[in-house]
């Protein structure tokens, strides 16, 4: 079954459980292109079934970029990169967590949903 797509003002942005590029290759900052304009988009999320339980009730997710030094697995807790709150993350922390529906990892430079605490 395909997971629901997060929505903003009726526009589909990115399917849950996916990353912007869909790959595992590092994306250089010079190659971010127009996706920079999507950083920080915040949407309400529906209840989701993940890892055998229901989560996400009444929560929001923000589209954010992994600018850490390594790929980040779905479900990993994150902290915002300095100067890029709600747009880019780089460390383990308590700001939120990477969409746990992502089956692999989010490559360096790629965008994904971050569920806010």
Q: Report d(CA 33, CA 38) in Å as an integer.
A: 10
pLDDT digits (tens, 9 = 90+) for 8-23: 444 467 888 899 998 7
Name the domain count of the chain.
1
End-to-end C-alpha distance for the chain, whole angstroms: 27
Q: Distance from CA of residue 56 to its chain's centroid?
A: 14
Tokens of residue 79, six digits: 């902290």
Question: Alpha carbon 71 to chain centroid distance?
Answer: 12
Neighbours of 35 (CB within 10 A): 16
**Reduced to 3 DSSP states, what percent helix, strand and coil does the chain have, rounded to the nearest 5?**
10, 45, 50
Give the global pTM.
Answer: 0.82
Domain that holds residue 77: 5-116
Write out pLDDT tens, residues 11-66: 467 888 899 998 789 999 999 998 999 999 998 876 555 555 555 466 889 999 99
Lookup: tokens for 93: 């922390």
How confident is the model over 79-109, as pLDDT tens digits? 999 999 999 999 889 999 999 989 999 999 9
| CA pair distance 9, 69, nearest whole angstrom | 33
């Amino acid at each position: 079954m395909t997971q629901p797509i997060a929505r903003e003002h009726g526009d589909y942005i990115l399917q849950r459980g996916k990353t912007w590029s869909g790959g595992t290759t590092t994306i250089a900052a010079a190659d971010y292109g127009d996706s920079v304009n999507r950083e920080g988009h915040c949407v309400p999320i529906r209840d989701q079934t993940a890892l055998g339980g229901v989560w996400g009730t009444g929560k929001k997710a923000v589209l954010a970029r992994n600018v850490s030094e390594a790929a980040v697995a779905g479900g990993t807790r994150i902290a915002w990169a300095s100067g890029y709150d709600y747009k880019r993350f780089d460390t383990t922390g308590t700001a939120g967590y990477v969409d746990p529906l992502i089956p692999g990892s989010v490559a360096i430079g790629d965008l994904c949903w971050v569920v806010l605490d």
